Amino acid sequence: MSTEKHTALYGWHVARGAKIVPFAGYAMPVQYEDGIVKEHLWTREHAGLFDVSHMGQVLVHGADVAASLERLLPVDLQGLAVGQQRYALLMNAQGGIDDDLMLTRRAEDFYVVVNAACKDADFAKLRAGLPDCEVSWWQARSLLALQGPEAVEVLAAIEPAVRDLTFMHGGEFTLLGIPCWVSRSGYTGEDGYEISVPDDRAAVLADLLCKDPRVKPVGLGARDSLRLEAGLCLYGNDIDATTTPIEASLIWAIQKVRRPGGERAGGYPGADVVGEQIENGAPRKRVGLAIDGRAPVRAHTELYLGAEKVGEVTSGGFGATLNAPIAMGYVQAAHAAVGTKLVAKVRGKDVAVEVVAMPFVKKDYKK
């Protein structure tokens, strides 16, 4: 018997012909009848609806919660306004990334979204590292992501006030009489929203959204190819507990106030390692890779410069928007410059690749 957990929308997916696969301990839709490429292109052109309810939703409350969270995360949370959202990294003592999170400062707490495969470990780390705060699951909640250039018009037809949200901001909204937490964010490189909704109303909301001809349900397959085109990391592939933020080209996620010389520099696990790499550079860097030919270059493919192995692919696939294969991975810092030509070893054959800037597809966010 299968031991995978189900989201509140599992039956909804099955009824719509979804192909279900195991992912991070859950039975999740990887695609629907249109297939990954069509779902990918539909999201880029219109609006795709994703079920991301397997991710964990956590609430952190305390008298000085922002300062407390900064003991674990190398980001500026004290400077966040109410309703403002920030990408953050949960660090370990070796300077590695135990998970990447999304946090929003709300009037009474911080709302935190954590990755599905890490959520129980993250919850334990937050509780252990924040003894002066109350850390709790936001129980019985689903999370829907409505992504694409037409997402704003679709959701505004239900609640016009969502137009006023800008990228990386959230607030409380009533949709169909349902109290929801809505943020203007996502992980596809497109404009859109993430909607936290009570489990027992998730299917009602999903049905209403998909009645709009601009919306189609989209599975995790297209979500992965969309985020790859946008140059966004997948935890467990492109970043993990052995990867530092500087190696991962995520220095932008560490605001200047938390860097060496900043007003609140350091003070989080691994700060010495990260600070040293900010000052002196990291031994390897995450880079984008353009592929010569049509065959995808997948994760774990080794990269060479001449006879020397200089890196490895961490994510690779077909970029449907570009109609070409793309990849990202890590290479030695000395060979990480844009324009560097390398060779990928694919099933015993040499495939020419070139280091390129990311994102592969320009992000379209409402700032």
Average pLDDT over residues 51-58: 98
Residue stretches of the annotated binding site for substrate = 194
- Average pLDDT along the chain: 97
Domain 282-366 indexed as CATH 2.40.30.110 = yes
Label the pairing between strands 47-51 and 215-217. Answer: parallel
Over residues 164-175, the pLDDT tens digits come to 999 999 999 999
> Binning pLDDT at 50, 70 and 90, where does residue 3 land?
confident
> What letters, b where the CB count within 10 A reaches 16 and e where it falls short, cover 170-192?
bbebebeebebbbbbbbbbbbbb
Q: Tell me if domain 7-51+138-228 and domain 282-366 are identical in fold.
A: no
Q: Domain residue spans in the chain?
A: 7-51+138-228, 282-366
d(CA 79, CA 62): 16
Average pLDDT over residues 226-232: 98
Over residues 262-317, the pLDDT tens digits come to 999 999 999 999 999 999 999 999 999 999 999 999 999 999 999 999 999 999 99
Q: For residue 351, is pLDDT > 80?
A: yes
Residue stretches of the annotated binding site = 194
Over residues 80-135, the pLDDT tens digits come to 999 999 999 999 999 999 999 999 999 999 999 999 999 999 999 999 999 999 99
> What local confidence, expressed as pLDDT, does residue 2 receive?
64
> Binning pLDDT at 50, 70 and 90, where does residue 334 land?
very high
151 to 2, 46, 193, 261, 278: CA distances (angstroms) = 35, 7, 7, 41, 38
Q: What is the CATH number of domain 7-51+138-228?
A: 3.30.1360.120
293 to 305, 309, 352: CA distances (angstroms) = 19, 21, 8
206 to 114, 146, 179, 227: CA distances (angstroms) = 22, 10, 14, 22
**Axis crossing angle, helix 220-229 with helix 36-45, rounded to the nearest 10:** 60
Q: For residue 1, is pLDDT > 70?
A: no
d(CA 135, CA 128): 10
Helix (H), strand (E) at residue 203: helix 199-211
